[in-house]
Amino acid sequence: MTCNKNPMICWAKDSPGPFCCNKTCVNVLMNKQNCGFCGNKCKYNETCCKGQCVNTLFNKRHCGGCNNKCQEGSSCAYGMCSYAN
C-alpha cells in the first residue's frame, strides 16, 4: 500500500501498518527494514520484536522467536531455552 501522497491511508483497516516509511505502509514493531522507526534496519541475523532488533538465537526474552520467554534461571542458546542444561 503506497502512502507517498496520503500517509493517513496507512491507518486504513487492511493496511500492513500505521506508519509511512519510504512511501510504504509498515508496522515498525515488526518490520526488519524499519524496526522501531523508519529506516532502522536490523542486521541479517536479527528479528524485529516490539520495535527492537534482537538476535532470537540468544535472547532469553525472544528465544527462537518474538515474545518466547525462557523460564527464570534458564538461558537461550541457538533459539532454544535451557539448551544443553
Cα 58 to Cα 76: distance, rounded to the nearest angstrom: 5
Q: Is 20 strand, coil or helix?
A: strand
Segments making up each domain of the chain, as ranges = 1-54, 55-85
Question: Residue 1: is its pLDDT beyond 80?
Answer: no
pLDDT in tens, 3-58: 888 888 898 888 888 999 999 999 999 999 999 999 999 999 999 999 999 999 99
Q: Which residue has the cell 515474545?
A: 67
pLDDT at 60: 95
Residue 2: per-residue pLDDT: 81
Q: Where are the beta strands (DSSP E) in the chain?
A: 19-21, 24-26, 47-49, 52-54, 76-77, 80-81
pLDDT average, residue stretch 53-74: 96
Give the residue among 40, 67, 70 at the shortest CA–CA distance from 53: 40
Q: What is the DSSP letter of 71?
A: P
pTM for the structure as a whole = 0.81
